[in-house]
Amino acid sequence: MVKIGNITLGNFPLLLAPMEDVSDPPFRAVCKENGADLMYSEFISSEGLIRDAIKSRKKLDIFDYERPVGIQIFGGDEEPMAMAAQIVEAANPDLLDINYGCPVKKVVCKGAGSGILKDIPKMVKLTAAVVKATKLPVTVKTRLGWDDDTKNIEEVAERLQDVGIQALTIHGRTRTQMYKGNADWTLIGKVKNNPRIHIPIFGNGDICTPEQAIAAREKYGVDGIMIGRAAIGYPWIFNEIKHFMKTGEHLPPPSVLERVNVCKKHLQHSVQWKGDIVGILEMRRHYTNYLKGLPHIKEFRQQLVTCSTLAAVEEVLDSIALHYKDHIVERTSPLTDQNLLPAKNEVADCNVYG
């Protein structure tokens, strides 16, 4: 059984990646209902928490139905990160995660996210300060290294374990790769199979099918996997992997009615948490993902992104379910469709490819 502190996660847990502008409570709710074992908040600026910024504080919201759940923070200085850890602890999550993986310039230039991969001693000191500041289990998400010449994840894993982290998630790319090319799981496997390592090691990068999940477990020995973009608009991925691991058989892909119903649940959670105006507006980025692959869907999608009331959106969704009731949904790989991405901006892109 995989454990992080006193949190028991099962034999091969499936984690939902912390994705900015995606992994909010409404999205986490539908992923939890569809099999996610552990989920993380969107990443939160330590400086924003200290300044009591409204957006940062809002991201601390967690709900009992989504436990176990972790809150992820980022920053480049010890004192603000330690203070932020204490603020996070007061929100009562199950664990605290540190982001050492975000590659975007506006984060990296502050020495935060994957920017800290250039200074491993600083990473160790910062991590130690966070561990010391909170009673919560502290975990880390990071990358293989800064570039191909500095793939130092084996050293990093040992040193972060030595200062007290209780689990490590490794994204199989360097910072200079950003999200290009294929994730390299070889070094993730080396970390997991290092006899010095006793904490859970989770792999992350390009997992979008049950077969890939099984390969990650059997070839590299990881304790679990973290799924990012494959879950965007497709929260069924978690139960599909679990079913395949248990039976060796694929679940049928969700019907159009199932897609619409989960989309409606997501929408309702969004309105409840954000209010009518913001909840409806920010839900618009998800419709393309839920309706991916449906022929001639453009007209319906255009209606969805112009509706201004919950009732109007639900009416269009019901029309879609009726119109496509006889449509046979085919299984497709989400990693081949760039429409999976949310709104294009640096922060939104930060962890989308988790």
Residue ranges of the annotated binding site for FMN are 72, 141, 171, 228-229
Contact assessment for residue 72 and residue 48, using Cβ atoms and an 8 Å cutoff: no
Cα distances (Å, whole numbers) of residue 307 to 99, 121, 177, 279, 288: 36, 51, 39, 12, 15
Tell me which of 102, 208, 263, 350 is the catalytic residue.
102
Asked about 350 being catalytic, the answer comes back as no
Residues with catalytic roles: 102
